[in-house]
Structure 1
């Protein structure tokens, strides 16, 4: 199994209620159950106020590296990524478990 973690940081001056952010979150929430390769899918807003904390996280799992690649290339995933590029930056970690 491959765990795929993504941590998002909203750009300076962008808030959670920004319509772009709302649309971006909605796009990623909609991926649950629509991409066959997803074995686990959870996401949510950070509840920590620590200064090093990111704002939003996705925790997902895939059978193998090929499944993860197909997810990354999937048009619905790419559409969500395009939305988030407008208002956030992110880091990822993919690891086998």
Structure 2
């Protein structure tokens, strides 16, 4: 099992509606991309300074399924249309859950 974690920092001009669209878009991905076995996401709680604004955790059965997700049209469209216009920064990591 592979875990993919992505952390996003919004640009200063990002609106609350855009943030809501991003969260809804992430939550809709498992219905459109069967390779996603589990997805959780949400905004930072602001408990510590310097954090990112939003994170998503996605689980896949294999690295191959993660690659298929990366290239899936639904993922590519979501990133291009929803996320990229509002992003200031992005960090991601993938690791084996063992």
Same-fold call, TM > 0.5? yes
User: Which one of 39, 47, 63 corresponds to residue 41 of structure 1?
Assistant: 39
TM-score (norm 2): 0.86
User: Residues 4-19 of structure 1 correspond to what in structure 2 (within 5 A)?
Assistant: 4-15=4-15, 17=16, 19=17
User: 1:51: Cα distance to partner?
Assistant: 2.1
TM-score (norm 1): 0.87
The equivalent of 1:92 in structure 2 is 92
The equivalent of 2:60 in structure 1 is 62
SS across alignment from 1:92? strand
- Displacement over 4 Å in runs of 4+: none
How many pairs are equivalent? 95
Q: Could you tell which deviates more after superposition, 47-56 or 1-10?
A: 47-56
Gaps of 5+ in 1: none
Q: Is the 8 A contact 1:32 1:41 kept in 2?
A: yes
SS across alignment from 1:36? coil
